[in-house]
Amino acid sequence: MDSLKKHKFILASKSLRRQFLLKDLGLDFTVHTKEVDESFPDTLKAEEIPLYLCEKKANAFDEELDDNTIVITADTIVWVEGQVLNKPENYADAVRMLKLLSGKMHEVYTGVCLKSKHKITTFYSLTKVYFKELNQKEIDYYINNYNPYDKAGSYGAQEWIGYIAVEKIEGSYFNVMGLPVRELYEELLKF
């Protein structure tokens, strides 16, 4: 951990969950975000999407990096039945996504990019999440009482829906929250 103390870190994410997780990892960092077009080629599948997007976000920081500053970017998607679920656009979209996840296993991919002036590395984490069958009242309650609009797949595993819907997780729970902390720690030590 001492080797990480000599670096300055920028977390390029507005996500309070990512900020919380990185803080609890013990890293001293600043939060700085840039507006980046988050479109991607429709030929990309599964982990290719968040890997593409996190590198795209990191490349927006080229002018601000030196050998001692590392920017950390991340992007999380939900993948189910061969399609990507990003953040819902509205209430109806959130309902559609939660109905699609209901009673099924889906995959959560988070791509992470570490970039300094002369070095870049990307990696991803995969977690399989199994949902129970959700009824309409449960879906409506969650959407009306929580904020699914800033979350891939319209849900946060750390919220009420995670308590009542998640039957089983295979892989990193923190990946489902948006930042695979253990993997990030290992990659930072290597970086």
Residues in Cβ contact with 83 at an 8 Å cutoff, skipping those fewer than 6 apart = none
Catalytic residue among 37, 75, 93, 140: 75
Q: Which two tokens stand for residue 156?
A: 């946060």
**Cα–Cα distance, 111 to 38 (Å, whole number):** 13
Annotated active-site residue 75? The verdict is yes
- Residue 118 DSSP label: S
Assess contact for 112 and 70: CB atoms under 8 A: no
Alpha-carbon separation of residue 182 from 6, 22, 101, 124 (angstroms) = 20, 11, 26, 12
**Cα–Cα distance, 58 to 70 (Å, whole number):** 10
Residue among 38, 163, 153 nearest 107 (CA): 153
Q: Which residues are catalytic?
A: 75
